Structure 1
Amino acid sequence: MTRRFKMLTLLVVNLLIVAVGVVVVWTQHGDEEPVTILGTWTGQQEKQFKTVLRGLGIPFQYQGTAAQREVLLSKVQSGEPPDVVIMPGIGELAEYKDQNRLKPLDRLYDPKQYGAPWNAAGTASHHVYWVPVKADLKSIVWYREGHRPPNSPAPLASWCIGMGDDGASGWPGTDWIEDLVLQRAGPGFYTQWALNTGGATKKWWTSDSVRNAWTAWAGLLGQGRTAAKHALITDHRGDPGDHGLLFSRDCALEHQGSFARSFYGPKDTEHARLMDSAPLLPGGGTRVRAHEVTGDFAALFSGRSQARELIHRLSSKDAQQQWAQVAGVFSANRQVTPKNEPVERQIARRLLKGPRCLDASDVMAPAVRDAFYEAVLLTIARVAAKPRQDPRIDTLLENLQKVQDVSTADNDHPALQTVCSTH
């Protein structure tokens, strides 16, 4: 071996060592990078959530945005997804799971602490891919202390209604229709409709149960053109600086989830009371068949050990209990104790006992969910423009069914198997 060849060989070996060293250093640096988290909470809710995250002892970088779907899609397409995503849209998470984008959460939390319908939302897979880190109750109506309404359908003038949102306007209207379907047709039909059970062979959107619920809601809106018009231009949280719709508008009832308390402000929250929505809905006279519930679910887009550990700690009883105390939020973890106050106990009891069904639009495919939102807004717009004319509900439902059929053709193996608990 010539001296020149030896020197060349030594140079190549040294370069390889340096290259390997760079890889090792980069990998180690990657493990030390803060865990990136993408969520929907901004403002005061973001501050409260960061307080909980700091208590976990893991460096993090949180981004809160109302345009979460668009931001996440952009990051995924650019090859730089966040480590952790927290969102209510299980249907959207299911699509990412089908694309093999999500990492299993096996052994990172105890599914038995959550139970149905929270426990992996009944996925067909043997793995779990998301865990609820915050829970909220729906199928309830808020009213002011001392002004409990009678158990009968309430007129439009009584309702505080706002469709606006920073991210996806229209979802408060889907809550009304979902609740009407749930209370009238029961959890069985609700599950089939939400999951499109039977695929292209079934037409759930054009069924009598969905049509009748939609018609009842449109009939309520038709009682007042001005109220319908205001619903379109009103934010569901009320005006900035106000105390939510219930305590700042000339109305007495709000069909809103348990998260509405965060809009009211501390003093108003003390005077907010709740009751089951069933007897107050259009048509009334129905018993409570189940409660609609919703949650914010954490999922992993990376396999980083720090990100996995953050999920493990965030879903633990201790972290969930701390969040409940810091922000007054609710947990689907059965071991978390709510504050010893009447309203908190009522919410916690309904969240963890009795038939419960996940928000239908949250579990639907994103394309179907978005079409649902738009159809709700179009219904209100038509009623506001011509309250005495048919808002053409049949046409709206036929169009929704077409969107559902296309979505089913694109994905005929849904990741979710059930959305309702049986007890």
Structure 2
Amino acid sequence: MMTRNRRRILASVAAFGAAGMVLAGCSGGPGTTNGGGGGEGGDDDNVVTVYGTISGTEAELLEESWAEWEEENDIDIQYEASQEFEAQIAVRAQGGSAPDLAIFPQPGLLADMATRDYLVPAPEEVVANAEEYWSPLWQGFGTVDGTVYGAPLMASVKGWVWYSPATFAENGWEIPTTWDGLKELTAQIAGETGAPPWCVGFGSDAATGWPGTDWIEDVVLRQSGTDVYDQWVTNEIPFTDPQIKSAFDEVASIILNPEYVNAGYGDVQSIGTTPFGDPATALASGDCLLHHQASFYDGFIVDAGATVAEDGDIWAFQTPPFEESGDGAATVTGGGEIVGAFDDSASTQAVQVYLSSPEWANSRVSLGGVISANKGLDPENASSAILTEAIKLLQDDATTFRFDASDLMPSSVGSGTFWQGMRDWVNGTDTDTILEQIEAGWPSS
């Protein structure tokens, strides 16, 4: 069960670099727009090719989610997954062999393709669905220079801290309501147990480092607010800014402290070599008492043999704010995908419209393991209690939501120097050097 924004087990930094070079080398002329797509099904009105990062069991469920619609509409959707998506989508577009549709895990990458005239604007029906069923914020992730190129697909809510309710009750540990409270809880558990409470894993094959970016993003948003977060995403506020360094320092106070990590796996440096899914086993066994990961992680925990419920083996609370708001409104980060089209054939548009609808969202979510920010989604269709909670957060107008910053940044930074920087950081490179290295990844123009 692997997806890019929920699992992010994808292309290497080198692959992203290759994508950047391919895109930079484009002359600006369109690749495969208007009626052909260039995919294997591009010349067949009854075949629509879809390319994305969703693989394994989740790819099977994706295909199951649209199977009935395919039959009813006499359209064959042919899905292809790739762990080299970010590099290959650029190569295919430049070479005239793009798929009909692509499921972009990064709004920044979709914007790159749109500004180079590889994508076609979304049809009116997709725009209408986006306006009716998605918040203005989510609509914006598929909009480039005022033109809508796609609607969102699935989503995740990040920033959950996973723990054992029974263990907390036995020891009298309380769920913290502030970031300082989380640090105090960490110190309390370490002092009372004599062992590190946190398990952390940055390992994700060629994508190693991405879980660390999630930590930083959660703290930037909660500590400095939406304006700073938004300016950071566009580099109006650079990584070297004191506000961003403060977020690194706060995260360091937990994950770079050898008294607090790495439960069940080793020292601080073991973070970089611990696969991000492995701590689920440590949580289930009780070797790890705290773990920071997104809503999708319940699947890993269930696979490890534990139940996920408020009264079950493992449950989760959101990373707390730096200051309590008093109104109970949540501030969260998350991710998702956007469906963009490389041709405007009738069959391609029909599939794109369906994937933007609440009918598809309910079909897929009811099959388990994922959520969507589509307002037409029934939260009760979610396959677990934590996913239901995540959907409610996304649908609550009071929730302050921001998309994963690294996915909004240019790939040379977000999945390039940022990922690499997180790897180097846990291996001992000092914070100032790390921030300078990450910032150096920003394109000059």
Give the TM-score normalised by structure 2. 0.75
Q: Does 1:114 align with 2:134?
A: yes
Q: Does 1:308 align with 2:345?
A: no
Over 3 Å counting, the alpha-carbon distance change for 1:286 and 1:233 in structure 2 is farther
Over 3 Å counting, the alpha-carbon distance change for 1:246 and 1:50 in structure 2 is farther
CA apart distance, 1:232? 1.0
Over 3 Å counting, the alpha-carbon distance change for 1:256 and 1:365 in structure 2 is same
Deviations 1:111-152 (A, max 9, x none): 231013211328453321122110110122122343455312
Alignment correspondent of 2:272: 232
Over 3 Å counting, the alpha-carbon distance change for 1:66 and 1:254 in structure 2 is farther
Alignment correspondent of 1:247: 284
Alignment correspondent of 1:321: 362
Alignment correspondent of 2:226: 187
CA distance in structure 2 between the partners assigned to 1:125 and 1:244 by the alignment: 45
Point out where structure 2 has 5 or more consecutive residues left out of the alignment: 1-35, 191-195
Q: Percent identity?
A: 26
CA distance in structure 1 between the partners assigned to 2:213 and 2:286 by the alignment: 22
CA distance in structure 1 between the partners assigned to 2:41 and 2:218 by the alignment: 50
How many residue pairs match? The answer is 362
Q: Does 1:159 align with 2:202?
A: no
Point out where structure 1 has 5 or more consecutive residues left out of the alignment: 1-22, 198-202, 383-390, 411-423
Aligned residue among 301, 316, 334 for 1:264: 301
Q: Is residue 149–residue 341 contact of structure 2 (8 Å, CA) maintained in 1? A: yes
After TM superposition, list the pairs within 5 Å mapping 1:144-223 onto structure 2: 144-148=164-168, 150=174, 151=176, 152=181, 153=183, 154=186, 157-197=196-236, 203-223=237-257
Alignment correspondent of 2:148: 128
Q: Look up the SS of the partner of 2:366 in the other structure.
A: helix
After TM superposition, list the pairs within 5 Å mapping 1:14-413 onto structure 2: 30-32=43-45, 34-57=47-70, 58-109=75-126, 110-111=129-130, 112-121=132-141, 123=143, 125-148=145-168, 150=174, 151=176, 152=181, 153=183, 154=186, 157-197=196-236, 203-224=237-258, 226-238=266-278, 246-247=283-284, 250-265=287-302, 268-270=306-308, 271=312, 272-278=314-320, 290-339=331-380, 342-353=385-396, 354-369=399-414, 370-382=416-428, 391-404=429-442, 407=443, 409-410=444-445
Q: Which amino acid aligns with 2:334?
A: V
Deviations 1:235-275 (A, max 9, x none): 11229xxx555325721222111111222236634333221
Highest CA radius of gyration, 1 or 2?
A: 1
CA apart distance, 1:33? 5.5
Over 3 Å counting, the alpha-carbon distance change for 1:122 and 1:185 in structure 2 is farther
Q: Is residue 182–residue 289 contact of structure 1 (8 Å, CA) maintained in 2? A: no
Higher relative contact order (CA 8 A, sep 6+): 1
CA apart distance, 1:159? 1.9
Alignment correspondent of 1:386: none
CA RMSD of aligned residues (A): 2.6
Q: Look up the SS of the partner of 1:231 in the other structure.
A: helix
Over 3 Å counting, the alpha-carbon distance change for 1:102 and 1:258 in structure 2 is same
CA distance in structure 1 between the partners assigned to 2:204 and 2:249 by the alignment: 24
CA apart distance, 1:286? 6.1
Deviations 1:62-121 (A, max 9, x none): 112222212323322332111111132111111111101111113232123101321132
Q: Is residue 154–residue 372 contact of structure 2 (8 Å, CA) maintained in 1? A: yes
